[in-house]
A and B are shown apart, each in its own frame.
Chain A
Amino acid sequence: DGGITQSPKYLFRKEGQNVTLSCEQNLNHDAMYWYRQDPGQGLRLIYYSQIVNDFQKGDIAEGYSVSREKKESFPLTVTSAQKNPTAFYLCASSPQTQSGDRYNEQFFGPGTRLTVL
């Protein structure tokens, strides 16, 4: 059963603490993405990666970090520098990123809800 998994489903963070959200895919997709979703604001891109060992900042990267050591994994760390991290976090993937493959839709994981205590 192919797809994207995210863990944990719910996560609680104390002030000043770093937390890492997991994202794994077995779709053999090259591109992976992290989005933050807040009520009424749609999806905002945090980081994306086109290929292993390479990633780029999105629109709201401050306070977040990522790694892409394996094709199937793209973990997101929410650092203590992110002052308002309470949100719903979505991971997504899509096939190759060459211009000829832009017609491909994204596949989304089930999300992680992060709450700051």
Chain B
Amino acid sequence: AQSVAQPEDQVNVAEGNPLTVKCTYSVSGNPYLFWYVQYPNRGLQFLLKYITGDNLVKGSYGFEAEFNKSQTSFHLKKPSALVSDSALYFCAVRDGTGGSYIPTFGRGTSLIVHP
């Protein structure tokens, strides 16, 4: 079975400060990891993914994420937060080796960036 944990329901950060949204995962085979963002009353938008290779993945809107195999984590980061980054963020994992191809999503983390 695979699972994703987003330990923080809400993250608050001041505009211009760095932000981190945490994600840990559990999967039997090789993890394929994804981050999505959701603005109010909208669908999810893909931000970035880790499949293999460099542990630091760069994505849309200046976001990046660091894959840490030993800690089974895939935290989302941004060096300088914008008020417009305020949204709901979802981490997802897929087993890249076998089993079901259906991804498992975390419960989401609400990011609030204060002016």
Which A residues contact B (CB, under 8 angstroms)?
Answer: 4, 6, 31, 33, 40-43, 45, 48, 58, 88, 90, 92, 97, 99, 102-103, 105-111, 113
Contact = CB atoms under 8 A, between A and B. Distances in A.
Contacts of B98: 99
Nearest to B48: A105
B51 interface: yes
A112 B22 CA distance: 28
A2 to B, nearest CB: 14
Interface of B: 9, 32, 34, 36, 41-46, 49, 51, 90, 94-98, 101-103, 105-108
Contact of A109 (B43, B49, B96): B43
B9 A40 contact: yes
A105 B49 contact: yes
Nearest to B52: A103
B107 A111 contact: no
A90 B43 contact: yes
A12 B95 CA distance: 38
A111 B101 contact: no
4 tightest CB-CB pairs across the interface, nearest first? A108-B43, A42-B107, A108-B44, A103-B51
Contacts of B32: 102-103
Given A111-B42, A111-B43, A99 B101 contact: yes
Nearest to A31: B101
Nearest to A33: B102
